[in-house]
């Protein structure tokens, strides 16, 4: 049964191409070719690589249509017959071009009405993967790497001319479909009971591994509501959280990460795990905060890299105080302690 269904899924990728030909195309062009073209474009001469005797009249073939359009354009521009050869009368040339143009245009219009302007094609491997994801409700299944590489035209893998079908591809599509079906049917006999678990940022070892933060960078701060927990932020040995023993404090604890768009940060909740495959509802509680840091010139041996002020003198700014505000920016006024007293947060 699975094999039958997998055959059906594989044929999702295959669509037929309608073939048609203009029956009177050769008859309309035969007289003109006989008088002006066959001397140079027969099987013996075949000038320019064109043999008119073997030229097909099946305009459903893009390559054949391209050759007929090329013939039309060369005759219209006076390139064929060559200037040294006997030229057809103007009326004869115009009649030939009108008949040839009408046949090609009519055939292309008919093909566009029946099959659309673009060539019907199979799904490429990424489209086939997405189709099975939607059909079988497997949003994360990976099938593209199981299928042969698709042909490309100008860097695009969605052009019908490059998406051929071979027995190797058919076998690969069948294998991918069977793998997808087995994945869709692989579920526990009984639905597990729903369980709600809550995880806290300060209890995630991989997320709190950056503490203590560096005095200058200050990109990781432990907050209790909107108050900086100095002990946790700068003391490596301090307990990161009150845990279950202090539930009131636990609900107020958070981790503030200050990183710019060009400084990516990996938020890793290492305690989160999914025991079985399925859908999980995840809710994240977060908020935005602003940090203001007061800087003062260092009056002793500098611990940080110096900068240059407008006068060209080397100064040593040092962070002396941090304040946290809600995400909506208030009017911030720098606080300058009297006497420029430095506040030392590190142990």
Over the stretch 140-172, which tens digit does the pLDDT of each residue have? 899 999 999 988 888 888 888 788 888 888 999
CB proximity list for 172: less than 8 A, separation 6 or greater:
146, 147, 148
Inside any domain, residue 196: no
Q: Which residues of the chain have pLDDT under 70?
A: 1-23, 208-218, 261, 264, 295-320, 328-347
Same domain, 236 and 290: yes
Inside any domain, residue 154: yes
pLDDT at 52: 84
Domain-ending residue, one of 115, 146, 174: 115
Same domain, 207 and 324: yes
Inside any domain, residue 193: no
Over the stretch 237-291, which tens digit does the pLDDT of each residue have? 777 787 788 888 888 888 888 877 677 677 778 888 888 777 788 888 888 888 8
Inside any domain, residue 20: no
Within 10 angstroms of residue 260's Cβ, the number of other Cβ atoms is: 8
CA nearest neighbour of 132 among 119, 145, 142 = 142
pLDDT at 241: 81
Read off the tokens for 132: 């099975």
Same domain, 159 and 78: no
pLDDT at 226: 87
Could you tell me the residue range of the domain that residue 269 belongs to? Answer: 201-340
Domain count of the chain? Answer: 3
Same domain, 212 and 333: yes
Over the stretch 63-75, which tens digit does the pLDDT of each residue have? 888 888 988 898 8
pLDDT at 249: 86
């Amino acid at each position: 049964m699975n094999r039958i269904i997998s055959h059906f899924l594989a044929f999702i990728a295959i669509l037929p191409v309608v073939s048609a030909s203009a029956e009177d195309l050769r008859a309309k062009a035969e007289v003109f070719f006989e008088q002006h073209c066959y001397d140079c474009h027969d099987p013996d001469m075949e000038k320019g690589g064109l043999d008119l005797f073997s030229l097909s009249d099946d305009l459903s073939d893009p390559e054949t249509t391209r050759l007929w359009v090329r013939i039309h354009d060369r005759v219209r521009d006076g390139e064929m017959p060559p200037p040294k050869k006997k030229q057809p009368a103007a009326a004869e040339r115009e009649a030939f071009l009108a008949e040839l143009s009408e046949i090609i245009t009519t055939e292309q219009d008919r093909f566009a009405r029946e099959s659309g302007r673009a060539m019907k094609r199979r799904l490429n491997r990424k489209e086939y993967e997405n189709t099975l994801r939607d059909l079988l409700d497997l949003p994360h299944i990976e099938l593209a790497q199981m299928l042969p590489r698709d042909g490309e035209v100008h860097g695009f893998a969605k052009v019908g001319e490059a998406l051929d079908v071979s027995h190797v591809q058919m076998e690969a599509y069948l294998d991918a479909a069977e793998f997808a079906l087995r994945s869709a049917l692989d579920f526990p006999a009984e639905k597990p009971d729903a369980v709600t678990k809550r995880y806290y940022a300060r209890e995630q070892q991989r997320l709190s591994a950056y503490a203590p933060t560096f005095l200058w960078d200050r990109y990781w701060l432990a907050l209790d509501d909107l108050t900086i927990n100095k002990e946790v932020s700068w003391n490596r040995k301090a307990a990161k959280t009150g845990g279950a023993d202090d539930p009131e404090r636990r609900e107020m604890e958070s981790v503030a990460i200050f990183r710019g768009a060009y400084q990516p940060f990996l938020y890793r909740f290492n305690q989160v795990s999914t025991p079985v495959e399925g859908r999980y509802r995840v809710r994240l509680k977060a908020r935005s905060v602003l940090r203001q840091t007061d800087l003062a010139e260092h009056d002793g041996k500098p611990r940080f890299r110096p900068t240059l002020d407008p006068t060209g003198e080397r100064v040593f700014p040092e962070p002396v105080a941090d304040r946290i505000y809600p995400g909506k920016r208030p009017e911030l006024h720098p606080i300058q302690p009297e006497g420029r007293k430095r506040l030392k947060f590190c142990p």
